[in-house]
Amino acid sequence: MAITLKTPDEIAAMRIAGRLAAEVLDYIAPFVKPGITTGEIDTLCHRYMVDVQNTIPAPLNYAPPGYSPYPKSICTSVNHQVCHGIPGEKVLRNGDIVNIDITVIKDGFHGDTSRMFVVGEPSIAARRLCEVTHECLWIGIGQVRPGATLGDIGHAIQRHAEAAGYSIVREFCGHGIGRRFHEEPQILHYGRPGTGERLQAGMIFTIEPMVNAGRREIREMADGWTIVTKDHSLSAQWEHTVLVTEAGHEVLTVSAGMPARPPVPERAGSTPA
């Protein structure tokens, strides 16, 4: 599948979809507290998407080759769950960390974003992992500009995570996005600078580093979707959808309640969101 450069009209539609996805996370934030179940979070998000936003939850019944249909409207990955956690009876407790991953479809276009939430008072180690992973996301975004390479993004993320003593999950990556949930290119969160596809204005893709406190090895649970760390160490993930512009980049998954960009260096030539 070739990389598709988006037209101005498609970019405008992606801005709307991206903002709506981020606003689901704004909406759910006050509910993420001890005692709620991940299934209840899913129900609240589903109703907000369908009844308030008039959007379609993209994960619901999504079935890529080799997978059974995903049964819920969002992903909730708690503590040692890396990604694709299926909401259910899991009760969030004080000290947990949880990634909530939202993808909406609006007028045929996908908006995709995720955030880490801390439940009550997490440990210093858990909070630090979430913070460093957030920094990794923005350091990767800071590499995005015409003429840069995919390897530049991955290398910058990997270097920051490993300098903090963490590891990068390699089996899952960011992806192009638009009318389809997953398009080319694949955005690895590790790599060598100057390698891979060169970025061009009009590309839209997600950057979504998954960072483990322990080793990088993972395994799939029996449900066929949920991914966990093999060593049971904590894992964190943040995600934005990013447009390559003529001047640098634009983050499309922005909203009023979005956590502030952490104080990491912004590479020259890019445009902060």
Q: Please name the residue ranges forming H helices in the chain.
A: 8-28, 38-47, 124-141, 150-163
The reply to whether 228 falls in a domain is yes
pLDDT of res. 264:
78
- Which one, of 83, 115, 110, lies nearest residue 229 by Cα? 83
CA distance 187 to 3: 12
Tell me the pTM: 0.95
The reply to whether 242 falls in a domain is yes
Sequence length of the chain is: 273
CA distance 18 to 34: 28
Q: Please name the residue ranges forming H helices in 29-110.
A: 38-47
Walk along the chain (273 residues) and give the pLDDT tens digit of each residue.
Answer: 689 999 999 999 999 999 999 999 999 999 999 999 999 999 999 999 999 999 999 999 999 998 999 999 999 999 999 999 999 999 999 999 999 999 999 999 999 999 999 999 999 999 999 999 999 999 999 999 999 999 999 999 999 999 999 999 999 999 999 999 999 999 999 999 999 999 999 999 999 999 999 999 999 999 999 999 999 999 999 999 999 999 999 999 999 999 999 997 665 333 333
CA distance 152 to 144: 8
Q: Locate tokens 């634009």: which residue?
A: 250
* CATH number, domain with residue 161: 3.90.230.10
The reply to whether 263 falls in a domain is no
Note down the domain range covering 184: 8-251
pLDDT of res. 265:
67
The reply to whether 271 falls in a domain is no
Query: 120: which 2 tokens?
Result: 């009550």
pLDDT of res. 272:
37
If one counts the domains in the chain, the total is 1
The reply to whether 207 falls in a domain is yes
Q: Are 175 and 186 in contact (CB under 8 A)?
A: yes
Percentages helix, strand, coil for the chain (3-state, rounded to 5) are 25, 25, 50
The reply to whether 261 falls in a domain is no
Query: 103: which 2 tokens?
Result: 């993808």
The reply to whether 273 falls in a domain is no
| CA–CA–CA angle 88, 123, 164 (5° rounding) | 105
The reply to whether 266 falls in a domain is no
